[in-house]
A and B are shown apart, each in its own frame.
Chain A
C-alpha cells in the first residue's frame, strides 16, 4: 500500500468520452505531480502543482486538464484522447520541490488507462 491513493486502478475509455483520474494524499504535502509512463519507459512529467497552483505544465496537450481542488486532492480530466495516450498515469506528492529541498516524491500505483 502507498500513502498516495489513485482511482480508478484501471480505465478503458473511447476517444469521445470524458473521464477523470483522481489522486489523494494525507501527508500534508504541498506539491503534487502528474506523470505519464509508457511501457518500458521512464515516467514523464506532465504537471506540477505547488500550494494548489499550477507551477509547471510540460507542454501537455489540452485534452489533459489538471485540477487541484485542495491541498490533498489532484484530478486529471481527460477528453477526446487518442489511442497513443494509453499509458500508466502516476500521481506523486512531495513536501516541497523534490530534489533541492530534500523532499522525495511519494508515488501512487497509478491508473492504467486504455483508449480505444
Chain B
C-alpha cells in the first residue's frame, strides 16, 4: 500500500500562494493522486485529483513530476478560510482502489 508523507504544518499569509508537497515513493502504476481539505467537525472535501503532469481546477493546481514519486498541491492567493488540514492520498491498486488510507495531513494556518 503506497504510503504518503507530508509536512505536519505550514503557515502562510492572506494573498500568498501556498505549495504543499506530498511524497509517495512506491505509488503504483494505476494509482491516481487525490487531495482533500478538511475543516474542523466536517468531513473531508475533495479538492483535486491527477495522474501525471499538471491538473488545474477553480480552486487549486496539482503538479506531478514524470516519476510520480511526489506531487505538489498549489493554492493560489489563500484566504483565512483556507485554514484547514490538507490530505494527500494514493490508492491501493490491489483492492481496486477501495483501501483509501489517509496520511497524517498538513495543517495549514493562514494569517491576516
Residues of chain A having any CB pair with chain B under 8 Å:
2, 4, 31, 33, 35, 42-45, 48, 50, 55-56, 88, 90, 92, 96-110, 112
A110 to nearest B CB, angstroms?
Answer: 6
| Residues on B with beta carbons closer than 8 Å to the beta carbon of A103 | 97
| Residues of B contacting A106 in the complex (Cβ-Cβ under 8 angstroms) | 46
- Interface: B63 (CB within 8 A): no
A28 shortest CB reach to chain B, Å: 17
Closest CB of chain A to B72's CB: distance in Å?
17
A107 touching B45 by the CB < 8 A rule?
Answer: yes
Given A99-B49, A100-B30, A105-B34; 8 other pairs, CB 8 A cutoff: A44-B102, A45-B99, A97-B96, A102-B49, A104-B49, A105-B44, A106-B46, A107-B43
Contact B98 A109 (CB under 8 A): no
Chain A contacts for B102, CB-based, 8 A:
35, 42-45
Most buried by A among B34, B43, B89, B104: B43
A109 to B90, CA, bound (A): 22
Q: Can you give 8 A-B contacts (C-beta < 8 A)?
A: A31-B98, A43-B44, A43-B102, A97-B91, A99-B34, A100-B30, A102-B51, A103-B97
Q: How big is chain B's contact interface, by range? A: 20 to 34
Contact B90 A99 (CB under 8 A): yes
Give the Cβ gap from B36 to chain A, nearest Cβ, in Å. Answer: 8
Whole-angstrom distance from the CB of B52 to the nearest CB of chain A? 13
A35, A43, A99 — most chain B CB neighbours (10 Å): A99
Say yes or no: A33 contacts B42, CB within 8 Å: no
Q: How far is the CA of A35 from the CA of B95 in the complex (A)?
A: 17
Write the B22-50 contact mask toward A (1 if CB under 8 angstroms, else 0): 00000000111110100001111110010
Whether the pair B45, A98 counts as a contact (CB closer than 8 A) is no
CB distance from A57 to the nearest CB of B (A): 11
